[in-house]
Structure 1
Amino acid sequence: MSDTPRVSLRSLLPYLRDHRGTLVVVGVLSLLGSVTTLAQPLLTRRVLDGLQAAHPIARTVALLIVVLAAVALVNAVRDYLLQRTAEGLVLTSRRRLTRHLLRLPIAEYDQRRTGDLLSRVGADTTLLRAVVTSGLFETVTGAVMVVGAGVAMILLDPILFLTAGAGLALGLSIAVLFSRRVRPASEAAQARIGEMTSAVERALSAARTIRASNAEDREIATVEGSAEEAYRAGVRIARLQALVGPASTAAIQGAFLLLLGVGGARVASGTITVGELIAFVLYLFFLVMPLGQALHAYTQLQTGLGALQRMEEILTVPLEADAGTSAPAGGPAAVTFDGVTFGYAAAPAPVVSDVTFTVPYGTRTALVGPSGAGKSTLLQLVERFYDVTAGSVRVAGVDVRDLPRHALRAQLGYVEQEAPVLAGTLRENLRLTVPDATDAQMLSVLDAVNLTDIAGRTPQGLDAQVGEGGVLLSGGERQRLAIARTLLAAPPILLLDEPTSNLDARNEVALREAIDTVARDRTMIVVAHRLSTVVDADQIVVLEAGRVVAVGRHEELLEVSPLYRELATNQLLVA
């Protein structure tokens, strides 16, 4: 259950602020349209009374035609501005949500499903359009019409007004009762849509694995199950909305029939004229139509507020803090781990415990050990994707928590274990770190990682597509492209997480040579399972169960560390 406060119309104000000028114009046009509309029954009464009394009516008819044309023109301009504003509201909300989503703490992505976040940016923001077009302004303009028509009906005949009002009040009370239940149902429906989107995203992102596992039917069943939940939630909303319409219709029909009976009797008695009765009936329609629109608008408003509630649940999540003010001090070591302990919120035990070692400037440090020893976690603590539970990580002598994140990460080049490649072109992937890189610079780093050939496969060169997630590249090519992207930025400290895990022997040698070249003037921390790639490291840190069990060079560790010797023996590095 979310702790986010319930949203209200006031919560829409930040989204509407950029459009307030247009909204004022729309409000004026709506008021003008309502006034001219309310004048029509009076002009109609004058025409009918003039015909009955044989008076000239040409000027009144001409004025009525002008009023009808004016109402059509005003409403057309108003509706265009309203629709444009609604699209602007959707754009504003998507910008705001996207900017927030991309700056959330990394831990939030660990806890949330990607498909649900996508649903909030796509489906939920779209529902806000109805808040403006069918909700907010239909409610406001409808209120003006209801008040105006009601006043005119009272002035024409209070008895008829009370007669019609009694029938309408009963029907409207029932309709409002059902409409109040739409919002929670809408929130539930949007949540189900988010779950369905997550299921689809999961299936598509692992399409090859699913196909190879003959698991299509199971995944289809999972997606269809989520779709059925969304369907049932949507049906609940449809049922509630369907009850509103018949209640409104019954109220209108009952009030109209009652009005005709009482009104006919009053015309027969001479209390009112036929023209006044017709004018009253027109005002009744002008009263009823906005009431019906207002009821529809109310349900749309509740649906939109339900979507806004889901958006606010994300927008109220604190962003990744960047409050550090210190600058790198040029301390005795490039990176220092001092008694570092860290555990994930959902984990019962720490991932790393009391880790202490230093990485001198211009050296290469390798982190080795069994899977789950905490090697990749240490790199993420340097990047400050997470903050330590105890101890400290220092870069250039300064605790990373005292450094602005953008300043810290400008000194670091980080290549993840999965080596993600973004959908798009080679150029777009390389320029992710250096937006103004030249073609010569990009081709140079591709050559350094033995990837020059992929820029020459097609006439597009650097503009060649790599596919969704780099699917048009091999696993090794994706990893080398990610490394080339980092090398292009030329940061002083490189963090490489399993840089050669997807490479064959030939490309591993080529990449090691490239890393050796670029590492000459830089500090490097490398996570490695293949010890052959780090036997010449200046320092090897051996981790087991989140603790440092040995530190030294390859030859030293073979003598003093049973775990390292076991790893080396298993990889045929020693007899």
Structure 2
Amino acid sequence: MAEQRAAEAGAAEEPADEPAKESAESGPPAWRVLLGYVRPYRWTLLLGALLSLLTGAAGLALPLVARSLIEELDGDGGIAGQLLWLTLLVLANAGLGALGYYILQRTAESVVLTARRSLTSYLLRLRISAVDASEPGDLLSRATSDTTLLRAMTTQSLIGLGTGGLTLVATLLMMGLVDVVLLGVTLGVVAAAGVVIGVIAPMIQRASKRAQESVGEMGASLERVLGALRTVKAAGAEEREERTVHEAAERSWRASVTSAKWSAVAGNTMYLAIQGVFLTVLAVGGARVATGSIEIGTLVAFLLYVFYLISPLQEVVSAITQYQVGSAAISRIREVWALPVEPTADGHRPALAAGGGEPAAVAFEDVRFRYAPDAPLVHHGVDFRVPARGMTAFVGPSGAGKTTVFSLIERFYDATEGRVLVDGRDVREWDLAQLRASIGYVEQDAPVLSGTLRDNLLFGAPDTAEDALAETLRTARLDTLVARLPEGLDTLVGHRGTKLSGGERQRVAIARALLRRPRLLLLDEATSQLDAVNEAALRDTVAEVARRTTVLVVAHRLSTVTSADRIVVMDAGRVRAVGTHRELVATNPLYAELAATQFLAEGGDPANGPSADEVSPDGPSPDGPSPEGPSANGRAVDVTAGPAS
């Protein structure tokens, strides 16, 4: 259908009037944003508006037919014809009204669909820094609750103001044709009520925005609690967290009640105005009938128009109040559009080879990085080079900046200063999708998404053949897990993989990365939750993968570190030394201390380096570094050398 195609077009590109490039404060007014969403459905919307106007026109004819009917009662003519016309007008009014209402409601739902599609697409393109600074529950509220308000804003505000306003003008014109004096009385009373509503409208908007913000806070609080429910229960903090969520709900309730109060005042102001018009017209009109200035039929017709005036006036008032509510929601939606997004492909940048190509080389050139302009530096001139193929391990105390290295390679963040290079080219020059298609990334917490095990494994490579999937399951030692699951690969893993153990989630994450056939594999503490048997098997797997691709590992286990071709020692955002395990134990005090206290707690590995007893935490070997030993100044370190023989 044309309407569905329009919805897809609206989802593919944000409305022209979206303030994507502007701040929420300086963006276009709410009505322009709404028109941007409505534009794909303008013809359907006009059809619904036309039917509503025809409904109004049919209603406007009713008093005239009624006047003719009353005048016929004074004569000798029959009234059958007038009664027939009156009946047909009533039926036409009802039929046109029902059809117009359906079309407008359907169009309003399509507007909401377009808004949700475009907004969720934008949310998925947000920079990680923007997501880090936001509450996921609040963003969810903006994409669901706030967009819902666009439905009423489309029908009650945009269309209601148009059709109600035109019907109101037409009614006043008909009143003028009936009697100008009574029209003047009517306009005086209605104008006074309009001034009152004009004062109330901004109060409704402010209260509505506070209510929506509180709903967002409630969503953020609830998401925070449900995301760590085991911790909350284990700490016995249910009541405390319950109070936090309830306080946000109560703030929303108070703001909504305030909005409802002012909306009620606005509605009742117009109701009182109509009653005032009726009484005034009845008094003035009765006097004019008594003096013979007008006929009784004229007064009855005018009074019918007064009653008919109720509907368009209420529609206009409702449109004004709903506009205030909707503009508060649009203000929150505009705040999302003002958040920074990742760059999209522009068709002019060279495409990086897809997964399965030659291994990638990585280099950091004097990289400085901070997470926010006012935040301290995380990297202070980080400088190293990793050749294509082989395994490089990053070690150092917590907070040294190891995981940040991976985030900069993936372009979750951009370096504040310096360059991050892949194959000798700045990552900012690559098409982002092509860059990430070449990388397999296993995060520290190994996230697993709700769905089936198969969905998670094929998340980054949905077109993987069954035989390749089966081979990867064996490689990641997941085949026994799949065999004992009730539905195999189609078993649901639960929200965030809660039905899997920590080690199983890590193996799923590793398999997911391997299925992408990456040119560059990033493993961030990828085996920290595995038992010794599975860890040893996967260590061998990673070593095998490193023969045909480039592997970067953040690790604390001795077995992982000693098997690396090269080790980068980081501390306080700087590269302190680079070399092999044997070289670093002998030459770098920090690494020697880490090896003695962290890596070697389980005993030494004679095949790869000295035991814990042989490591001196007091400093390098008195013999000093070998002529080919590593550089420890943290600057321009070349790690192309292989392990010591």
In structure 1, the residue corresponding to 2:29 is in which secondary structure?
coil
Q: 1:234 aligns with which of 253, 256, 278?
A: 256
Q: What amino acid is aligned across from residue 403 of structure 2 in structure 1?
A: S
Asked if the contact 1:328/1:396 (under 8 Å) is kept, the reply is no
- What are the equivalent positions in structure 2 for 1:123-162 lying under 5 Å apart? 123-162=145-184
CA offsets per residue over residues 70-94 of structure 1, 9 Å max, x none? 1111111110010100110110000
Of 380-389 and 8-17, more deviation after overlay is shown by 8-17
Give me the whole-angstrom Cα distance separating, in 2, the residues matched to 1:343 and 1:459: 47
- Counterpart residue number, 1:553: 580
Q: 1:117 aligns with which of 123, 127, 139?
A: 139
TM-score, normalised via structure 1 length: 0.96
Give me the whole-angstrom Cα distance separating, in 2, the residues matched to 1:201 and 1:429: 22
Residue 326 of structure 1 pairs with residue 353 of structure 2? no
- Counterpart residue number, 1:47: 69
- Counterpart residue number, 1:92: 114
CA offsets per residue over residues 281-304 of structure 1, 9 Å max, x none? 111122232112211121111111
- Counterpart residue number, 2:390: 363
Give me the whole-angstrom Cα distance separating, in 1, the residues matched to 2:329 and 2:430: 37
Residue 194 of structure 1 pairs with residue 216 of structure 2? yes
- Counterpart residue number, 2:476: 449
- Counterpart residue number, 1:402: 429
Asked if the contact 2:127/2:342 (under 8 Å) is kept, the reply is yes
Give me the whole-angstrom Cα distance separating, in 2, the residues matched to 1:398 and 1:179: 56
Give me the whole-angstrom Cα distance separating, in 1, the residues matched to 2:375 and 2:110: 46
Asked if the contact 2:555/2:561 (under 8 Å) is kept, the reply is yes
Residue 465 of structure 1 pairs with residue 489 of structure 2? no
Q: 2:452 aligns with which of 425, 431, 434?
A: 425
- Counterpart residue number, 2:594: 567
CA offsets per residue over residues 457-489 of structure 1, 9 Å max, x none? 344221110111111111111111111111111
- Counterpart residue number, 1:79: 101
Give me the whole-angstrom Cα distance separating, in 2, the residues matched to 1:363 and 1:123: 50
Of 69-78 and 434-443, more deviation after overlay is shown by 434-443
Give me the whole-angstrom Cα distance separating, in 2, the residues matched to 1:219 and 1:51: 74
- Counterpart residue number, 2:270: 248
Shift of 1:320: 0.8
Give me the whole-angstrom Cα distance separating, in 2, the residues matched to 1:483 and 1:3: 44
Asked if the contact 1:172/1:251 (under 8 Å) is kept, the reply is no
Asked if the contact 1:163/1:259 (under 8 Å) is kept, the reply is yes
Q: What amino acid is aligned across from residue 26 of structure 1 in structure 2?
A: G
TM-score, normalised via structure 2 length: 0.86
- Counterpart residue number, 1:481: 508
Q: What amino acid is aligned across from residue 341 of structure 1 in structure 2?
A: R
Shift of 1:377: 0.2
Q: 2:534 aligns with which of 487, 507, 514?
A: 507
Asked if the contact 2:360/2:550 (under 8 Å) is kept, the reply is no
In structure 1, the residue corresponding to 2:562 is in which secondary structure?
coil
In structure 2, the residue corresponding to 1:541 is in which secondary structure?
strand
Residue 389 of structure 1 pairs with residue 411 of structure 2? no
Of 456-465 and 94-103, more deviation after overlay is shown by 456-465
Of 20-29 and 91-100, more deviation after overlay is shown by 20-29
Task: From the superposition, tell whether residues 453 and 281 of structure 1 become closer, same or farther in structure 2 (CA, over 3 Å).
Answer: farther
Q: 1:541 aligns with which of 563, 568, 580?
A: 568
Aligned residue pair count: 575
- Counterpart residue number, 2:20: none
Shift of 1:2: 5.0
CA offsets per residue over residues 497-533 of structure 1, 9 Å max, x none? 1111111212211221222233321110001122322
Of 331-340 and 276-285, more deviation after overlay is shown by 331-340
Of 545-554 and 180-189, more deviation after overlay is shown by 180-189
Give me the whole-angstrom Cα distance separating, in 2, the residues matched to 1:3 and 1:56: 66
Asked if the contact 1:365/1:541 (under 8 Å) is kept, the reply is yes
Q: What amino acid is aligned across from residue 515 of structure 1 in structure 2?
A: V
- What are the equivalent positions in structure 2 for 1:199-218 lying under 5 Å apart? 199-218=221-240
In structure 1, the residue corresponding to 2:398 is in which secondary structure?
coil
Q: What amino acid is aligned across from residue 521 of structure 1 in structure 2?
A: R
Asked if the contact 2:24/2:338 (under 8 Å) is kept, the reply is no
Give me the whole-angstrom Cα distance separating, in 2, the residues matched to 1:216 and 1:368: 38
- What are the equivalent positions in structure 2 for 1:287-302 lying under 5 Å apart? 287-302=309-324
Give me the whole-angstrom Cα distance separating, in 2, the residues matched to 1:529 and 1:508: 13
Shift of 1:328: 5.0
Residue 526 of structure 1 pairs with residue 548 of structure 2? no
Give me the whole-angstrom Cα distance separating, in 1, the residues matched to 2:487 and 2:466: 13
Give me the whole-angstrom Cα distance separating, in 2, the residues matched to 1:231 and 1:128: 20
CA offsets per residue over residues 224-267 of structure 1, 9 Å max, x none? 11112111211221121121122112211121112122222323
Q: What amino acid is aligned across from residue 246 of structure 2 in structure 1?
A: E
Structural RMSD (CA): 1.8
Task: From the superposition, tell whether residues 273 and 147 of structure 1 become closer, same or farther in structure 2 (CA, over 3 Å).
Answer: same
Where does structure 2 lack aligned partners over 5 or more consecutive residues? Answer: 1-22, 605-611, 614-645
Q: What amino acid is aligned across from residue 118 of structure 1 in structure 2?
A: L
Q: 1:11 aligns with which of 33, 43, 52?
A: 33
- What are the equivalent positions in structure 2 for 1:332-351 lying under 5 Å apart? 334-345=361-372, 348-351=375-378
Answer 1 or 2: which has greater helix percent.
1
Task: From the superposition, tell whether residues 115 and 333 of structure 1 become closer, same or farther in structure 2 (CA, over 3 Å).
Answer: closer
Give me the whole-angstrom Cα distance separating, in 1, the residues matched to 2:276 and 2:125: 57
Asked if the contact 1:334/1:395 (under 8 Å) is kept, the reply is yes
Asked if the contact 1:248/1:292 (under 8 Å) is kept, the reply is yes
Residue 493 of structure 1 pairs with residue 520 of structure 2? yes
Shift of 1:391: 1.6
Following TM superposition, where does structure 1 have runs of at least 4 consecutive aligned residues deviating by more than 4 angstroms? 327-333
Asked if the contact 1:369/1:544 (under 8 Å) is kept, the reply is yes
Q: What amino acid is aligned across from residue 301 of structure 1 in structure 2?
A: Y
- Counterpart residue number, 1:219: 241
Asked if the contact 1:142/1:293 (under 8 Å) is kept, the reply is yes
Task: From the superposition, tell whether residues 356 and 259 of structure 1 become closer, same or farther in structure 2 (CA, over 3 Å).
Answer: same
Identity %: 46
Asked if the contact 1:4/1:312 (under 8 Å) is kept, the reply is no
Task: From the superposition, tell whether residues 482 and 91 of structure 1 become closer, same or farther in structure 2 (CA, over 3 Å).
Answer: same
- Counterpart residue number, 1:66: 88
Where does structure 1 lack aligned partners over 5 or more consecutive residues? Answer: none
Asked if the contact 2:207/2:258 (under 8 Å) is kept, the reply is yes
Give me the whole-angstrom Cα distance separating, in 1, the residues matched to 2:334 and 2:298: 52
In structure 2, the residue corresponding to 1:65 is in which secondary structure?
helix
Shift of 1:327: 4.5
Shift of 1:223: 0.9
Give me the whole-angstrom Cα distance separating, in 1, the residues matched to 2:498 and 2:350: 41
